[in-house]
Amino acid sequence: DTAVSQTPKYLVTQMGNDKSIKCEQNLGHDTMYWYKQDSKKFLKIMFSYNNKELIINETVPNRFSPKSPDKAHLNLHINSLELGDSAVYFCASSPTSVRNSPLHFGNGTRLTVT
């Protein structure tokens, strides 16, 4: 009955590879997000989708491409992985119909690029 689930939990890959991270939420929320947490624990938003439409796209290299097939899923595909992409990536969701509603986070995907 996990609310926001991400797969995989760990991802180790080499530079230059392409990889995907998947996220699903069963909370009925209409907005989903990707956040990146660096080695110093700093969190920064990357993307946000509302009802499958992109509404926030921060300054992120275009090697990162989010895709939302429906409002319960938000995947993140990364092309040509670089060492600096190593981080923990968190998916989150919230109901935008409820003002100031908190975000619900998944447990993260730890990406290590070697």
Partner 1 sequence: GNSVTQMEGPVTLSEEAFLTINCTYTATGYPSLFWYVQYPGEGLQLLLKATKADDKGSNKGFEATYRKETTSFHLEKGSVQVSDSAVYFCALGGSGNTGKLIFGQGTTLQVKP
Footprint on this chain of partner 1 (rule: CB under 8 A)? 4, 31, 33, 40-45, 48, 55-56, 90, 92, 94, 96, 99-103, 105-108
Classify 83 as helix, strand or coil.
helix
> Using alpha carbons only, how large is the chain's radius of gyration in Å?
13
What are the φ/ψ torsions at residue 104 (nearest 5 degrees)? -110, 120
Burial (CB < 10 A; 0-12, 13-18, 19+), residue 13, is middle
Residue with smaller CB distance to partner 1, 86 or 103: 103
CA distance linking residue 107 with residue 77, whole number of Å? 18
CA distance linking residue 106 with residue 28, whole number of Å? 15
CB of 13 to partner 1, least distance (A): 20
CB of 29 to partner 1, least distance (A): 9
Residue with smaller CB distance to partner 1, 66 or 106: 106
CB of 16 to partner 1, least distance (A): 29
CB of 15 to partner 1, least distance (A): 26
Residue with smaller CB distance to partner 1, 81 or 106: 106
Residue with smaller CB distance to partner 1, 52 or 108: 108
Tokens for 7, please give them: 């797969």
